[in-house]
A = this chain, B = another copy of it.
Amino acid sequence: MAVHGPAMTDVARLAGVSHQTVSRVLNGHPNVREQTRLRVRAAIAELGYRPNGAARALVTGRSQVIGVVAQNTTLYGPASLLAALEQTAAEEGFAVSVGSVRNLDHRSISAAVERHLSHRVAGIVVIAPVESAGEALERLPKDVPLVTVDGDPSRPVPLVTVDQVAGARAATQHLLDAGHRTVWHVSGPSDWFDSVGRIDGWRQALLAAGLEPPPPMPGDWSAASGYRSGQMLARMPEVTAVFTANDHLALGVLRALHEFGRRVPHDISVVGFDDVPEAAYFIPPLTTVRPDFDAVARASLQMLLTQIESGTGGALRQTVAPALVARESVGPPRR
């Protein structure tokens, strides 16, 4: 293995210049004669020279790497976000290092961040949708560029979020507009901010319409828990409209309703959240709320780059509005 590639000095020797000139060419420094630049480039190509990021990171104090800390990158939301972040970062010349953690508790998060800091990442994006993550973040060194995504709105940390409240309100309002007398809610885990925000928005919409929100049914994002809630909902004749905290829950609810012979949307209307690619092919196609993950990724990366370049750690905040996607799972209530 050990065969190390050529270094800058090898390129310099071949091009008949000093290694510093090579460095200048590489970094696009203006004061290099065109002819020299060409000779250096030729030497680089001939040797197949590849700059050593470690050496550069050592001397500049920062690598061109952005660390991402996330929990369950198999879920659609986090996975999309991660992919979008990676794309955006690549366009800016940054690599993305993933530090996924089993739990979002203080210890796990700190450990993941430490790992990233060891590699002298330029900045860190924490996808920290749960309460316990918040504390961990406050104790981190203040001097490292950091952005949280879907984190705790009450903490003084730069934050980019999907506007869960607005999304949930839109979903609920959509059902009310269709003529439903009230809307039931199957929620996500109570320690996720996403979940809390969606409950909030649902409640707001009902209260604004002068309605008393029924008790939300707790879930855990999975189709399995949606199914369990669906079995209960199917047995309650007064239920005509359900808003679930994500599409997987909705899928479970749909199946339970189907099994109990309750037709959607004829008997019960259902709205989800996330717009997973399959939502359009549920039975029936699911009306849902689509968060713009690309926008979130762009916003957080831009925030991070600003911090990296300026050196200031301003506590900014940015919110991305989701959009309602209307499909066939919503209809007027049966009289």
Contact = CB atoms under 8 A, between A and B. Distances in A.
Interface in A104-141: 114-120, 141
A91 to B, nearest CB: 11
Nearest to A259: B283
A116 to B, nearest CB: 8
A31 B289 CA distance: 61
Interface stretch (A37-45, A76-84, A165-173, A183-191): A76-84
A119 B65 contact: yes
Given A95-B115, A115-B95, A282-B255, A313 B54 contact: no
A254 B278 CA distance: 12
B224 A280 contact: yes
A258 B258 CA distance: 12
A97 B96 contact: yes
Interface in A220-252: 222-224, 226-227, 248, 251-252
Interface string A54-96: 1101100101110000001110100110110011001000011
User: Chain B CB within 10 Å — which of A50, A54, A64, A114 has the most?
Assistant: A54
Interface stretch (A1-9, A192-200, A318-326): A1-9
Number of copies: 2
B252 A281 contact: yes
A258 B254 CA distance: 14
A260 to B, nearest CB: 12
Interface residues of A, number: 69
B61 A83 contact: no
A258 B102 CA distance: 39
A248 B223 contact: no
Contacts of A51: 118
Given A53-B119, A80-B74, A258 B278 contact: no
A297 to B, nearest CB: 12
Nearest to A122: B1
Contact of A281 (B223, B312, B313): B223
A36 interface: no
A153 B176 CA distance: 56
A108 to B, nearest CB: 11
B226 A251 contact: no
A145 interface: yes
A64 B312 CA distance: 30
A215 interface: no
Given A73-B79, A79-B79, A100-B83, A118 B52 contact: yes
Given A95-B116, A222-B277, 11 more contacts: A2-B61, A54-B55, A63-B119, A74-B76, A74-B80, A86-B98, A87-B100, A95-B119, A223-B280, A251-B281, A255-B282
